[in-house]
Structure 1
Amino acid sequence: MNCTNAPAAVPSDAGIAGIGVLLSFIVTAAIALLISASLVFQEMRNVQKPSILRRRLLNSYSDQQILTGIGIQSVGLAKRTSLVPYHFFLVWMLSLLSMAVHNATLLALARDFRRDWVLRWMRELLMLVNLVLSCTYGIFILRAVQRGINDATFPVECAWRPETQDGPAAGNAAVSYVGTGAVIAGNVAIFALAIWYLHARARRFYVAVQAVGLVLMAAFAVGATVRVAYLADAFAHSTPIRLSDSGEREWSFGQLLSVGMLLLPLATVVEILRGEIKCAPPESEGDDEGKGRLLGEEEQGETQELRSDLQTQERPGFQPSPLSGSVSSLLHKK
């Protein structure tokens, strides 16, 4: 890592800012936000029959988005000694996009997560990891702006090295300070509100919180997408720094694979559709004993399905963690 002499150009990084990687984030975010909006509006209209297909699809796309966001942020931090601030900033924008999608999913599927404390804790853990990584990126960006190397070809780690010569202050340095600080503070506030929303049992202002939160998350996602489209070499005509090649615009195997991963949640659609088809019992060999056995198995399956439906209806809307119960409540259990 050289923090004294900045190179004239840096190689592209298709694994972070390639056209396939960027499109997979943007398209997934658009699909997830549309599904979230449809589910929230359906709940506002008091439609009793929930859409299992859309809920499962949204859950799959949201999981894919937040796990990919955490993964790309981890890779970016591991490569901070070679990654320039230009690529570092793009990774941060993608992480904000994944965070907005996941928070929008919480607004639509909060009831599902409340019913199972394992799912709720898993979501909260992923949100916390994403928040810590995102705040770390914001601090790196602020430090690079302070040292005047946010548009330089130095590695982003050089922002913390004393031998790095400070560059001239950018004309929009004040805007960068305010904007970056506001995004970090907003992420922390949204995380706190999301945790409260997952544990809240009151119905007061429930619809208003859903509507305002969905609009806010959509604004976050649109803002991050615009910044990526404006800066990334895959879409923009010029970049803040000079790249030595055009690898981020080429459709390599890795870029096609990133876009192809968008089809993975669609396998859930086939599973749901196949599960909803009522199949006739297999034909017997013609003996009455076989027919009676098949009929008994069918009736037994219907009874078990009925019991399962009754248990689902009696299931509480919020399942507390087993560690949160008091000692007295455990002693009084029968």
Structure 2
Amino acid sequence: MSGRGNCAVIPGAVPSDAGIAGAGVLLASTITAGLALSLSASLVVQEFWRSSSSRSRNPSVIRRKLLNGYSDQQIMVGIGLQSVGLAKANSLVPYHFFLIWMLALLSMATHNAALLALVQDFKRDWVLRWMRQFLMFVNLALSCVYGIYVLQSKVKDLPSTLPIGCVWELDSTTSNVGGLDYVGTIVTIAGNCIVFGLATWYLQSRRQRFYQAVQVVGLILMSAIAIGATVRAYLLSQAFGKPDVKLSDDGETQWSFGQLLSILMLILPVISVVEILRGEIAVAPPLQDEDKQALFDGELSDNQRATTERIDRY
């Protein structure tokens, strides 16, 4: 932790950090989330339409592959952002720390929305399923730690220009218990835990009761969380809103190589789509409704396995 001397001296302003709150970073996160949520919604709607119609429907392998790429990217971005933020807790002010938490919340909601649409794909392999479960747990643990930091900063009324790590060294000067920010932080932490529990049940359950209802309700909830986190981050950022701390420069509004790189990273999942179109990668289409109960850790009959090997690229 930083020394008491650093925590005792309150700076008048703090430098910006375009790597956390830059315009390119925020736009890249928002565009990725928007694409992933749109793909998830389209797949859920298509599956519902296919199950209510006697006509065969397109399994949309390309959209599923693209969504899977964005889903993996989002869960890793959430873990990476929060890990770096905690490592820099002695230098990050609450403004940047809170923005990281909002971006991580956005990535969590996006990943869970993809999970709703691709759960049958994830159940084909128990190793991949449990690996995803582990990553979800790590993301939740980091998010809870972030919530505790933010909660302490509200309770102790931490000055906005002091590092967030100072919450453990300063005595409480005021009681903000019961305030709107205080209650909102607790609700967010509890909500993350509840969502994790429901996502775990959805991912690990052999029997999918009320499968389509869970998909629709969950997708609406995840979209609401994603929109809320995005609006909060944009309103607080220097690039698009009004920060709650005095910044010594306007670096977060300027475009640099790092900002452009964040946007260019959106192209990576598209490469897999091109490979599928060119026939370089074979991807199993989703199962039909009558096969879903038989799918768990690859438990398919020969006929069902032959069905999953048929590829429709569109």
TM-score in terms of structure 2 length: 0.85
Matched with 1:71 is 80
CA gap of 1:195–1:320, structure 2 versus 1, over 3 A, is farther
**Structure 1 residue 54 and structure 2 residue 58: aligned?**
no
- The equivalent residue for 2:236 is 231
Unaligned runs of 5+ in 2: 51-55, 300-314
Tell me, in whole angstroms, the C-alpha distance in 1 between the residues paired with 2:252 and 2:60: 39
Match of 2:271 in 1: 267
Tell me, yes or no, if structure 1 residue 204 matches structure 2 residue 213. no
User: Structure 1 residues 113, 79: closer, same or farther in 2, change over 3 A?
Assistant: same
* Shift in Å, 1:166: 4.4
Instruction: Determine if the alignment matches structure 1 residue 195 to structure 2 residue 200.
Output: yes
Aligned AA (1:76): G
Question: How far 1:168 moved relative to its partner?
Answer: 5.2
- CA distance, structure 2, for counterparts of residue 38 and residue 114 of structure 1: 20
**1:92 maps to which residue?**
101
Shift of 1:203: 3.8
For residue 297 of structure 2, the aligned residue among 289, 296, 319 is: 319
Deviations 1:62-104 (A, max 9, x none): 1111111111111100000000011000000001000001100
Tell me whether 1:43 sits opposite 2:51 in the alignment. Answer: no
Q: 1:183 to 1:99 in 2, by over 3 A?
A: same
Q: Which among 17, 22, 26 is matched to residue 22 of structure 1?
A: 26
* Alignment counterpart, residue 177 of structure 1, candidates 182, 207, 219: 182
What's 1:156 paired with?
A: 164
Kindly provide the CA deviation profile for residues 263-282 of structure 1, in whole angstroms up to 9, marking residues without a partner as x. Answer: 111111211111189xxxxx
1:101 equivalent among 107, 110, 113: 110
1:123 alignment counterpart: 132
State the alpha-carbon separation in 1 of the partners of residues 138 and 208 from structure 2: 29
Q: Offset at 1:320?
A: 7.4
Unaligned runs of 5+ in 1: 278-304, 322-334
Q: What letter corresponds to residue 237 of structure 2 in structure 1?
A: A
1:233 match: secondary structure: coil
* 1:250 partner amino acid: Q
Q: How many residues align?
A: 285
TM-score norm. by structure 1 comes to: 0.80
Q: Compare 211-220 and 66-75 and name the one that shifted more.
A: 66-75
Q: Structure 2: how far apart are the matches of 1:173 and 1:84?
A: 23
Local SS of the residue matching 1:7: coil
SS of the equivalent of 1:265 reads helix
Partners of 1:320 and 1:160 in 2: CA distance: 49
Structure label with greater radius of gyration: 1
CA distance in 2, matches of 1:119, 1:48: 27
The answer (yes or no) to whether the contact 1:8–1:153 under 8 Å persists in 2 is: yes
What is the percent sequence identity of the aligned residues? 58
Deviations 1:116-156 (A, max 9, x none): 1111011101101100000000000000000001x511100
| Whole-Å separation in 2 of the counterparts to 1:249 and 1:168 | 34
* Pairwise CA distance, 1:108: 0.2
How far apart are residue 54 of structure 1 and its match?
A: 0.2
Cα displacement string for residues 259-303 of structure 1 (whole angstroms, at most 9, x for unaligned residues): 1101111111211111189xxxxxxxxxxxxxxxxxxxxxxxxxx
Q: Deviations over 1:187-212 (max 9, x none)?
A: 11111111111122324311110000
